[in-house]
Amino acid sequence: MMPTEAQDTAIISMNNIVKSYQMADETFYALKDVSLSIEENDYVAIIGPSGSGKSTLMNILGCLDAPCSGTYFLGEQAVASLSEVELANLRNQSVGFIFQSFNLLPRASALENVMQPLVYRFIAVKERKRLAMEALERVGLGNKIHHLPNQLSGGQRQRVAIARALVTKPKILLGDEPTGNLDSQTTLEIMALFDELHAEGHTVVLITHEPEIADHCHRVIRLKDGCIESDVRRQAHA
């Protein structure tokens, strides 16, 4: 069993996490006694079928939801002790989210979408633009900064979303089925980008039901019925 205090080298440390919901006269357990530790520069896939607890675990990892019991440290911060405002600040500073549906502002340009998370850090506009430009160039979209989402392909929109996640220099990149709306060729391109980001030192956690996506990762955590069924560390396929 993992100790309840934060791990020295762990970015994420969870111990005996339980999440349950009351449904009429029954209690439904989405997560049951889940313990895991994720280190800096881990490249992790959390995989499982629908109903396995993946989305619930992602919401807790990303500080979007709180467990009913257990302890969760994000870095050195005990998440359970935080107020809603403090949780929002921690999300903004520590987690870069990449969603299946991109979640871009439809009337904002690529540059404006990537600048958005920096608004909450009270950074001057000129510096926000510089950082957003840098992030867009990193994902290969330096020539698309003024395009609206509907002027971009699905793969380009996801690259904008990845740039938006990168711009805050978060502790972890957390992807929720990040290739779920993409065709097979574009999926390969986006996964190659995640491979590059991991190689550069980023910590990447991907929530997926697709074994092909998990094959890129160096560690695969498999969930079933709210429990960790297996946790295998290996080298990614060539």
Task: Determine the straight-line distance between the first and last CA of the chain, rounded to whole angstroms.
Answer: 33
Position 122 confidence tier, pLDDT thresholds 50, 70, 90: confident
CB 58 within 8 A of CB 207: yes
The whole-number average pLDDT for the span 75-94 is 89
Structural domains of the chain in order of their starting residue, each with its CATH number: 40-66+81-233 (3.40.50.300)
Q: Which residue has the higher pLDDT, 109 or 76?
A: 109
Maximum Cα–Cα distance for the chain, whole Å? 56
Strand, helix or coil at 235? coil
The order of strands in the sheet holding 69-74 is: 26-39, 10-23, 69-74, 77-78
- Whether the per-residue pLDDT at 238 is higher than 70: the answer is no
Which residue's entry shows tokens 């509907």?
A: 150
pTM as predicted: 0.90
Distance of alpha carbon 101 from its chain centroid, rounded?
13
Q: Which residue has the higher pLDDT, 182 or 6?
A: 182
The whole-number average pLDDT for the span 19-23 is 91
The whole-number average pLDDT for the span 161-174 is 95
> Model confidence over 33-82: pLDDT tens digits?
999 999 999 999 999 998 999 999 999 999 998 899 999 999 889 998 88
- The C-alpha atoms of residue 205 and residue 11 are separated, in whole angstroms, by 11
The whole-number pLDDT of residue 235 equals: 67
The whole-number average pLDDT for the span 154-178 is 95
The whole-number pLDDT of residue 102 equals: 94
C-alpha dihedral, 81 to 84 to 89 to 92, nearest 10° = 110
> Model confidence over 174-231: pLDDT tens digits?
999 999 999 999 999 999 999 999 999 999 999 999 999 999 999 999 999 999 999 9
- Whether the per-residue pLDDT at 237 is higher than 80: the answer is no
Amino acid at 146: H
Which residue's entry shows tokens 């950074």?
A: 123
The whole-number pLDDT of residue 213 equals: 94
Q: Which two tokens stand for residue 44?
A: 């992790």
